[in-house]
Amino acid sequence: MRLVSLTRAATHVRAASTTATIAAALKVGDALRPRRRRFTEDDVAAYAGVSGDRNPVHLDDAFARGTGGFQRGRVVHGMLVASLFPALIASHFPGAVYASQSLKFAAPVHVGDEVVAQVQALHIKATGGSNSNICWAASSSPPSASWTMRRLSPSTARPWLFCPRCSSAPRATFIS
């Protein structure tokens, strides 16, 4: 797996006028530089406020401990943890959008845990002009969720809802 120099890759992708230029900047198997994030009590409270998800497993240590599987106390919202991946991609490829994703939550991330997110290109499909659809897999430390994102494209190209090469591939995983 090649770790992409994001500055070079993102510059080439933004300046690309053909899919060949994008393919030259990003290859299947390339991984973007990882991003670290320690989730705090303030993060969880802010997410609960914005999302309306006030499930006590996220907000009340005693309740979370009394629920099977959460002996360490409150857990970070799964969608908050999963938001690291599109944020990582967007920070290096401004204007990137996606049409679908697949998530599977495998284990909790607790308040105070540090997560290291990384994404890797599984498949690149030229769609014409300067557009490419990219199927990404993501992994991070600590296993808490699986994630696959399809269709990264800066335009209004048709959504790529099925990636035949990636549909049977293992989903991205937070590795603990």
Residue 136 neighbours by CB under 8 Å, 6+ apart: 85, 89, 119, 120, 121, 122, 148, 149, 150, 152, 172
Task: With beta carbons less than 8 A apart as the criterion, state whether 100 and 112 touch.
Answer: no
Please tell me the distance from the alpha carbon of residue 110 to that of residue 38, in angstroms, as a whole number. 10
In 3D, which of 135, 149, 142, 146 has the Cα closest to residue 170?
Answer: 146
Please tell me the distance from the alpha carbon of residue 152 to that of residue 105, in angstroms, as a whole number. 23
Global pTM? 0.69
Please tell me the distance from the alpha carbon of residue 21 to that of residue 9, in angstroms, as a whole number. 10
Helix, strand or coil, per DSSP, at residue 114: strand
Query: For 97-113, how does the pLDDT look when each residue is reduced to its tens digit (9 = 90+)?
Result: 665 677 777 778 899 99
Is residue 57's pLDDT more than 60?
yes
pLDDT at res. 142: 59
Q: Taking the domain 6-38+76-174, which CATH number applies?
A: 3.10.129.10
Sign of CA dihedral 71, 76, 82, 86: negative
Query: For 115-147, how does the pLDDT look when each residue is reduced to its tens digit (9 = 90+)?
Result: 888 888 877 776 666 666 677 776 666 555 555
Task: With beta carbons less than 8 A apart as the criterion, state whether 12 and 21 touch.
Answer: yes
Task: With beta carbons less than 8 A apart as the criterion, state whether 147 and 135 touch.
Answer: no
In the chain, where are the structural domains located? 6-38+76-174
Please tell me the distance from the alpha carbon of residue 109 to that of residue 55, in angstroms, as a whole number. 15
Query: For 147-175, how does the pLDDT look when each residue is reduced to its tens digit (9 = 90+)?
Result: 555 444 444 433 333 344 454 443 333 22
Query: For 2-46, how does the pLDDT look when each residue is reduced to its tens digit (9 = 90+)?
Result: 555 444 444 444 444 333 444 457 788 888 888 889 999 999 999
